[in-house]
Structure 1
Amino acid sequence: MNCKQDKLFNLAGMQAAEKKLADIYTKMKAPEKFRCNYYDVPHSMGLQMQNDAFAWLEQWLK
């Protein structure tokens, strides 16, 4: 979960981390288990982000 307007973490750093993690999941033969979302908000954890996180957790940890 990344916030496009985040003042603590810049977009380039978030995208670099996303690529590294996606590569790791691909090497583990589980690319479908990795998801990276970007929200056009400042640093936060809003309701939509929470709903997305819980849906992902339910899908893969159920």
Structure 2
Amino acid sequence: MKLQQGVRVGGVVGGVVEGLYDEPGRTFRVPLRWYAEVSANMSITNMDFADFADTADESGTFRGFEGE
């Protein structure tokens, strides 16, 4: 499933997001709880791959932004 040009998400329950253009090979995981937020913001280009990837924890999983 493609969210926007340059990003690919795979998986049924949550998924893995991969940067395809600016950062090929860099990924982060998205639990189901945060999938809608990531999907919506990237679809409308309100936020980009790096906004979420840079916030991923040490396991490479995006768990929301501080204060959420």
Return the index of the structure with the highest Cα Rg: 1
Higher relative contact order (CA 8 A, sep 6+): 1
Q: Which has more helix, going by share of residues? A: 1
Q: Could you tell me the TM-score, scaled by structure 2's length? A: 0.28
Q: Could you tell me the TM-score, scaled by structure 1's length? A: 0.30
Q: Which has more strand, going by share of residues? A: 2
